[in-house]
Structure 1
Amino acid sequence: MHPVLVIALGATLLTVAGIAFGGTFLLRVTGGRVPANELQKAFFRAGHAHAGVLVTLGLLVAVLTDAVGASPGWAAAGALAVLGSAILIPAGFFLSVLGPDPRRPGAMIASVWLGAAALVAGVTISGVVVLGAGIGALA
């Protein structure tokens, strides 16, 4: 596994504590202890859910591409793109609805779309390198 990817995976594992703290924040929001309008509640839920799922997917992609013996550079590129989406998408959901009572998402919603592009790129790269490793193993 590429050393840069190993460092990123270690940092990613540490972010799980932040995601867990985000869960406690979400409980305070839904319990009414943190004021939030309906748009904010929906976006906070979406941000928290995407963070957990995408971090898990990024870790899985890194381990999978390593397990099949994929090219370390391409494997790292795919996994890092997925892990990047785990930052961009939740950030877009959380940061686009900051303020006392937003009626629509702000400009930071663009981060969700950038993250979606990174996610598609990452799983496409990873899928191709895993397929390539499998086909190469047949020969």
Structure 2
Amino acid sequence: MLSEAAATTAGIGLITIVTIEFGGTFLLRIVRGQVPMTDFQKAFARAGHAHAGVLVTLGLVCAVLADATALEGLPGWLARAGVLVSAALISAGFFFSSMGREVTRPNKWIALLWAGAALLAASVLTLGVGLIAA
């Protein structure tokens, strides 16, 4: 049986899959040439979509595994939900940093990607140590 926190976190994670699916339909429009983009923008669109899917899947696993630890407070939140939040930040970093016409390099929004990467690292390390300690 999942804790209430894990069930809520996993439920939110599952709901976000609908947005990833919608992003996939947009990606299909890009690949078909229906949306004008530079090669850089196409690469970032693919990367943002792929990271969202993989990290939400990992986040669902982490939400369940966090129940096997005794982590509470911020460490508990990192273990349970940090990967899902990092999925949003990393994907947003890819998408927002490549928005605009004829963009060929990332703008300042790339900082979201790095913030998400730091959160991802902190989250999986916290969960990993919490599982080993349990």
Matches within 5 A, 1:1-139: 3-66=4-67, 69-73=68-72, 74-133=75-134
Q: RMSD across aligned C-alpha pairs, in angstroms?
A: 1.5
Distance 1:81 1:14 in 2: 16
Q: Which is higher, the Rg of structure 1 or of structure 2?
A: 1
Q: Which runs of 5+ in 1 are unaligned?
A: 134-139
User: Could you list the runs of 5+ residues in structure 2 that have no partner in the other structure?
Assistant: none
Matched length: 131
Shift of 1:9: 2.1
**Whole-Å separation in 2 of the counterparts to 1:103 and 1:54:** 26
Distance 2:82 2:126 in 1: 9
Q: Aligned partners of 1:4, 1:19: CA distance in 2, in Å?
A: 23
Deviation of the 1:8 alpha carbon: 2.7
Are the structure 2 counterparts of residues 108 and 2 from structure 1 closer, same or farther at C-alpha, using a change threshold of 3 Å? farther
Q: Distance in 2 between matches of 1:76 and 1:88?
A: 16
For residue 105 of structure 2, give the secondary structure of its aligned residue in structure 1.
Answer: coil
Say whether the 8 Å CA contact 1:2–1:72 is kept in structure 2. Answer: no
Q: Which residue of 2 aligns with 1:137?
A: none
Give the TM-score normalised by the residue count of structure 1. 0.87
CA contact (8 A) 1:12 1:55 kept: yes
Distance 2:71 2:130 in 1: 10
Normalised TM-score (structure 2): 0.91
CA distance in 2, matches of 1:104, 1:89: 16
Following superposition, the deviation at residue 4 of structure 1 comes to: 4.1
Say if 2:91 and 2:113, in contact at 8 Å, map to a contact too: yes
